[in-house]
Amino acid sequence: MTGCLWNRSTYDIRKYQDKLTVRKEFNEHLDMTKPDTDEHAVPEDFVWVGEAEDAELTGMVSVQTGEFEGYNGTGYVGNFTGPEDTVMFTAELPADGVYNLCFSTVSVDDDKLNPVEVDGMTVGTISTHRGRDFTDSRLNGIYLTAGKHRITAATDWGYYYVDRLFITPGTPIPDSAYEVSAALSDPQAFDNSRRLYKFLRDCYGRYTITGQYCDTGKFGKEMVRIEEQTGHYPAMLGLDMMDDSPSRRELGGTNNKAVGFAKDFYVNSGGIVTMCWHWTPPVQYLINNDEHPWYSGFYKEHTTISLDAVADGTDAAGKDALLADIDAICAAMEPLREAQVPILWRPLHEASGGWFWWGNCKPESYVWLWNLLYDRMVREHGLHNLIWVWNGQSKDWYPGDSTVDIIGTDIYAPPHSYASQSAAFQEMTGWTDSRKILALTENGVMPDPEFLQRDRAVWSWFCTWGGDYIHKLNIASEDYTDFSMWEKVYQSGDTLALDDLPCLWTYPLN
């Protein structure tokens, strides 16, 4: 193979030595970047309570009583229906450090997800459950400085009610969170996959790998705009196997080039590849009319497939139809298996959101499909180049440690909101007793590497989605991430771009 980084005339060997030589240097770097939690510890007995009815209300939000029982104070607030509808608490905190935010909320119809902002920056999500009683939604591990802060419960899905906010001392993410299993789920994984996983383990907790989705490869619009603006290509290329779905080939004549781009990026540029699959179901399950076009068939409203019925055998032909699709994807990925190109494989993503057909079901049915997919691809087709990345977005949908290597989450923060998303990171550390690498598998706004290190939420990688998040009409765009943040992210000593990577196919296994 060609393309080992140290053979390039532009490669700066000093940068490699500084970033990626030995574990000792990693540990020294880790010690320098941890927040000083001992010197500025939050008092253990600190509690701040704010009643929503006493906070600042904007838009249509109003104080209410009567519909619910068990609220605190003189009432609660509701009528969150639009982006201007918020309740803003002003809290004064005694010290720099990590805090937990706990909102008491309720919804009368479906479960709701709505953003939390601190001083205008989105730091996490309030998860509100349907019911008649207020329940707690916690965001743990939020780093805040001493002094006054504006903490806002805002509107995305809306239609929820807020009773109050508790703020208590939090616990920083421990070093042990980054001590993950050395073994992949596939005992027959190819050496190149084991090398990539070893590299991810060595970097985890120290560096965040930069990534970008770009469906036209290294020299596509998104990748080139980033290189022009920052002087660096992303270390990771994100691609989609969507157009290799048999129904798309049949109805649209699609010709997917993702496999070729993946092989080229790894072999000729020494980069890392991640792949998802917007799985358009078999033709017989597509509605396919003007209102429900075939090309949107991966969304639940455009298909008639019931995964529950397939999983429990009610739809007897469904399993064979899905297996035929899986076989077609395996055939399409065969060149990557033959070349032993390691792929961070992320199928069946965002299931708990319920917008894709593979999430429009009971969690048990989803887990059944995940394990069917794993078994068919690994044991039947021998795709031992795959590293399995799961991001079902909820612990309830976790398939189990035996078929998952890495856990990811997709977070689309509002424009120019560069928070570390430490609350999500800390929550995900508790999704399994077996520690897994955690990654920000899709994002719209690039996270600030300074915040990642300060908050100890050092995601293994981020992978920004393409299109408007990076460019408009092929012109680089600041609509989501300011150019100054592009440069900060790609020039940071705490991130890895393409020219920071070692030669991955000779990376030591021990």
Question: Quick one: tokens of 174?
Answer: 């421990």
39 flagged as catalytic: no
CA angle 325, 330, 335 (to 5 degrees): 145
Going by C-alpha positions, the residue among 43, 53, 48, 52 that lies closest to residue 166 is: 48
Return the bridge partners of 344, or none: 274, 387
Return the bridge partners of 356, or none: 299
Going by C-alpha positions, the residue among 33, 151, 143 that lies closest to residue 97 is: 143
Distance CA 101, CA 72 (A): 17
Q: Which of 51, 222, 350, 427 is catalytic?
A: 350
Q: At what angle do helices 363-374 and 318-332 cross, to 10 degrees?
A: 40
Kindly give, in sequence order, each residue whose CB lies less than 8 Å from that of residue 506, ignoring residues fewer than 6 positions away.
4, 195
CA 232 to chain centre: 22
Q: Is 323 exposed, middle or buried (0-12, 13-18, 19+ CB in 10 A)?
A: middle
Query: 466 with 215: CB under 8 angstroms?
Result: yes
Query: 306 with 357: CB under 8 angstroms?
Result: no
179 flagged as catalytic: no
Q: Is 288 left (phi over 0), alpha (psi -120 to 50) or beta?
A: left
Q: Which of 117, 222, 427, 442 is catalytic?
A: 442
Which amino acids are annotated catalytic? 350, 442
